[in-house]
Amino acid sequence: MSGGLRLAFVTQLVDPDDPILGFTVTWIRALAKRSQHLVAIANEVRRVPSDLGAEVVSLGKEQGAGRVRRGLRYLASLEATHRRYRPHALLAHMCPQYLVLAAPLLQLHRTPGVLWFAHPRDSALLRRAERAAAAVLTSLPGAFPFPSPKLLKVGQGIDVSRFTCVPPAPGGEVLRLLALGRLSPAKGLDTIIKGVSKARDAGVPVVLRIVGPATTPAEEAYARTVVRLAAGSGGAVSVEPAVLPVAIPDLFAEVDLLVNGMRAGSGDKVVFEAMAAGRPVVYSNPCFDPLTEGLSLRLRYREDDAADLAERLRELWEAGPDLRAEVGGALAERVNEAHGLDGWADRVIRVLAEVGRSA
């Protein structure tokens, strides 16, 4: 049935150039290749690649449509999709509100709804979506904020073809770190900056680049704190604006390590991407432990513990480039196997086909 699946996919944004959600385009393309027809309904549409292979419907945020209007457009678009294609299932990506809103319509048409969610944020809305869903998909054990008998781990869906596992560019006698992603309090960037300072005080020649956007007022306020801390680092820390997704592999090629302080409960996508590029990742979130089990270097530091991070950085510096490259290569193999885009899409399609048959 999977090749003949007709699907609706609901997401926040369609734009391959977005530094945060650009990857969603790769998911849509991969699922469309495995489906008879896929309709992608997005809160906002900025640019649609010509090779996407899916029908795209915008709810109009890019044109200034408010929340109520977008909700009405969503229901109308979903009803039109049912009339034209009779989809076997709906997959809502990080949009529990749209699964809850669609629940009566899905029940009327006997169409199962499936939720993808990987974030530590719990809410009453998320729990309503979980109850309405036929299945809940996530990336890693612990990446969903509460237990559910509907929960299935399917991996992260990383387009590993974008990343080449090569040694970093020559960087002299310095350990180059990258922190990549939104400037959010949940990323623990203040702890990372303090850890870098402690490592330098202990004699480790380490520098840090922080690259990413601030997308909300709370993030903008936190970004000011990050910039202030960076300014007091004596030149060891720089804060740079977000880059297009196409430039991320080049960023990894210029550094020795990624450092990631995302709070426990979310499988941050950039961690998988850095590993796919053969870069060791120093992280605080225990959900990544299965990927690093048995390696010759310790990579996890205690959350909010700058001294423990500094110790990991000292160990990685003393390990030398050859051992770091060996660990990076092992991580690339593990990510390719467990979280590559093709395997992810196959697993998701199997779930959607199964719930479609059971409806």
What phi and psi, each to the nearest 5 degrees, are found at residue 137? Answer: -105, 145
SS3 call for 242: coil
Contacts of 183 (CB under 8 A, 6+ apart): 189, 210, 212, 213, 214, 219, 222, 223, 226, 239
Length of the chain: 359
Report mean pLDDT in 10-residue bins for the chain, 359 residues: 84 96 97 97 97 98 96 97 96 97 97 94 96 96 91 96 86 91 94 98 97 95 96 96 94 96 82 97 94 96 97 97 95 96 97 91
Reported as a single tens digit per residue, the pLDDT across 57-86 is 999 999 999 999 999 999 999 999 999 999
- pLDDT score, position 66: 96
What's the confidence (pLDDT) of residue 130?
A: 98
Tell me the CB-side half-sphere exposure of residue 251, using CA atoms within 13 A: 24
Supply the pLDDT for residue 263: 81
Determine the Cα–Cα distance for residues 352 and 114; give it in Å rounded to an integer: 8
CB 152 within 8 A of CB 136: yes
Query: pTM for this one?
Result: 0.92
CA distance 228 to 190: 10
- The closest alpha carbon to 314, from 217, 198, 167, belongs to 198
Residues of the chain with CATH 3.40.50.2000: 2-157+341-358, 161-338
Provide the pLDDT for residue 27. 98
Superfamily of chain region 2-157+341-358 = Glycogen Phosphorylase B; (3.40.50.2000)
- Please give the Cα distance from 324 to 7 (Å, whole number): 43
pLDDT digits (tens, 9 = 90+) for 322-334: 999 999 999 999 9
CATH architecture of structural domain 161-338: 3-Layer(aba) Sandwich (3.40)
From the list 288, 287, 286, the residue with the least C-alpha distance to 274 is 288
**What's the pLDDT tens digit per position in 193-232?**
999 999 999 999 999 999 999 999 999 999 999 999 999 9
**pLDDT at residue 265, as a whole number:** 65
Stated as kind and residue range, the H or E segment containing 278 is none
Burial class (CB in 10 A: 0-12, 13-18, 19+), 77: middle
Contact 38, 32 (CB under 8 A): yes
Report the 10 Å Cβ neighbour count for 47. 11
User: 280 exposed, middle or buried (CB, 10 Å; 0-12, 13-18, 19+)?
Assistant: buried
- In angstroms and rounded to an integer, the radius of gyration of the C-alpha atoms of the chain is 21
- Given a contact cutoff of 8 angstroms between Cβ atoms, the answer to whether 331 and 70 are in contact is no
- Kindly tell me the burial class for residue 67, based on how many C-beta atoms sit within 10 Å of its own C-beta (0-12, 13-18, 19 or more): exposed
Sign (positive or negative) of CA dihedral 197, 202, 207, 211: negative
Q: How far apart are CA 42 and CA 9, in angstroms?
A: 8
Mean pLDDT over all residues of the chain? 95
